[in-house]
Amino acid sequence: MPEVSRVIDVPPEAVFDVLADGWLYSGWVVGSSHIRDVEGDWPAVGSRIHHSVGPWPLHIQDETVVTAMEPGLSLSLEAHGWPLGAAAVGLTLVPHGEGKTLVRMTEHIVRGPGKLLPEPLQALLVKPRNTESLARLADLATGKHARTEDGRPRP
């Protein structure tokens, strides 16, 4: 299964805070272009984000569903993205030294025409995109963690 990882200079709770805000999903997931709705109990198992994939006006209306979740530790998703199908995406957060987090991200196609692609080709397609997704997640988590509840920079 293709995996990418990145160390982010904030604690796991700060990274999970971004993952738990469904409205930020298109800010870190490469390919997601617009969030239409986030179910109120996101990221509870079974909850959904309704989003668009791809550039306007060619975007596709789709959704992502939470399949498993451990607060502050992991989030598993099934991301739909036709015409390729659906992919199982896993994010694991591991404390990594003082106030840092090692984030591991896996993805593999589980349904649809994309499942016919050999795993090495799937890896070739998803690794660069997921590397960029983790870079975006790092920026959001770092920026959000650097501010207090009222939006001011942390001392």
Q: How much is the average pLDDT of 22-36?
A: 94
Phi and psi dihedrals of 14, rounded to 5?
-70, -35
CA distances to 109, 130, 142 from 121, in Å: 11, 14, 32
Q: What is the mean pLDDT of the chain?
A: 91
Confidence of residue 153 (pLDDT cuts 50, 70, 90): low
Distances (CA, A) of 68 to 55, 125, 129, 155: 29, 24, 22, 35
Domains of the chain by range and CATH? 3-145 (3.30.530.20)
Q: Is the pLDDT of residue 122 over 90?
A: no
What is the pLDDT averaged over residues 24-43?
94
